[in-house]
Amino acid sequence: MTANIVVPEVGESIVDARVARWLKKAGDAVAAGEPLVELETDKVDVEVAAPKSGVLQSIAHADGADVKIGDVLGVIETDGKVEVRSQKSEVGTATKSEAGTATKSEVGTSKKSEVKSQPPPPVQRRPAEASREGGKAEATTRRADVSATPSARRLAREQDVPLATVTSSGPRVTRADVARAAEGKDAGAAKSAESSRPETRQRMSRRRATIARRLVEAQRVAALLTTFNEVDMSAVMAVRERQKEAFKAKHGVGLGIASFFIKAAVSALAEFPRLNAEIAGDEIVLKHYYDIGVAVGAADGLVVPVIRDADRLSFADIEHRIRDFAARAGNGTLTLDDLRGGTFSVTNGGIYGSLMSTPIVNPPQVAILGLHAIKERPIGVNGEVVLRPMMYTALTYDHRIVDGAEAVRFLVRVKELVEDPSVLLIEM
């Protein structure tokens, strides 16, 4: 009996994936539930486990192959036997399934042989096959004795950085560790290059390619418009200064800026529900729940994990979720459930020093709130010019269902709530 290893359903809107790395080779014994292969999708990396116990008979798609949902990745012989086939054309070449090189007894014959359920003894292996992208050997980066996250392994392959040479900042090598190693490698290569204009080419990751495609699609399909305002952050900063020690002692997390804006946005969305909607054909779908996407930076691009039911959460709950998302985005452990859905998004370019920007809507959402750096600026207060910590805010919205006046009033409401955060505390 045999069991197929198939590409699973990995989330809404995801229809294909890329084989990042096989954790087993043909002929290895496997146990039901044991991870066999890592897949790279548009959003996250996933591991596909063995559906049944037995022996990995064959691998249909090698590392680097693009596959679709439902494709057969490989076959498991469930009665403990595995068929090893050979063809004359395989002599002297490494097979795509990575089952090893053909032996003399296999040359010119199609005779089937049976292998016991125990893994075969190690065979002399060539360096890994040249990848489809550039033919670079991956044998070192796939060393089993290096503990690394799936996203770290993928980046190591893309950057041609041997994992064994990467210094880990924790129990496992992370994407950040590989990125640092790659920067050092590129700097060394640039210095030694004969050309006065060295260049480096690297294949886009699936996630980066998807981000690029979705951003272009959002601007092509939606009628995007951005409105701006500015917020006096004096009151929020005063609250944070007064409460930061007690808040952290009680909740184990600092009180940040984002939680004030998320609470304000949720309150404003209740007043202006079209900004918490989506377009489905010729219908407007109004959402009566508030799942707020929070943009966080990852090594290979921006990701937007979702804070579910943000209207029911306290400031501390929101802060814990934001910090958890940021940590897991950094080490590549965000899940598809973290990224699914979302009715409205908030992005903070201020953490990178941005003074003003026009954020792009994350479809099928119809609006996104952009936060920016806080800078002291002279403003008029009661007939006097004073210095105040000010932040520019930006709201990009889909003009197909959100009118300009509605968007402006929404952003003004957010401004009012943040400038008087006591209202937010009363509403909790």
Residue 5: both structure tokens together: 């290893």
pLDDT tens, residue by residue, 100-142: 444 444 444 444 444 444 444 444 433 333 333 444 444 333 4
pLDDT at 203: 74
Structure tokens at 364: 């099928």
Percent with pLDDT over 90 in the chain = 49
> What mean pLDDT is predicted for residues 175-192?
71
Average pLDDT, the chain: 81
365-376 tens-digit pLDDT: 999 999 999 999
Marked catalytic residue, from 79, 309, 403, 420: 403
- Residue 192: pLDDT band (50, 70, 90) is low
C-alpha closest to that of 206 among 300, 96, 135: 300
* Structure-model confidence comparison of residues 111 and 155, the more confident one: 155
Residue 193's pLDDT band (boundaries 50, 70, 90)? low
Confidence of residue 415 (pLDDT cuts 50, 70, 90): very high
**pLDDT value of residue 150:** 78
Which of 23-27, 126-130, 190-194, 383-387 bottoms out in mean pLDDT, i.e. has the lowest? Answer: 126-130
Q: Name the residue type at position 61.
A: H
List of domains in the chain: 1-82 (2.40.50.100), 131-203 (no CATH), 223-427 (3.30.559.10)
Q: In this predicted model, what pLDDT tens digit does every residue of 325-344 receive, in sequence order? A: 999 988 888 888 898 889 99
pLDDT at 273 over 80: yes
pLDDT-above-70 percentage for the chain: 80
Residues 228-245: tens digit of each pLDDT:
999 999 999 999 999 989
- 399 included as an active-site residue: yes
- The partner residues of 55 in beta bridges, in order of sequence, read 29, 77
403 is catalytic: yes
> CA-CA distance, 255 to 67, in Å (whole number)?
44
In a 13 Å sphere around the CA of 18, the CA atoms on its Cβ side amount to 23
Sign of CA dihedral 190, 192, 198, 202: negative
Catalytic residue among 28, 232, 251, 399: 399
CA distance 306 to 265: 14
Task: Give CA–CA dist 32/78, Å, rounded.
Answer: 10
Question: Terminal CA-to-CA distance of the chain, rounded, Å?
Answer: 59
Q: How confident is the model at residue 195 (pLDDT cuts 50, 70, 90)?
A: low
Which has the higher per-residue pLDDT, 215 or 262? 262
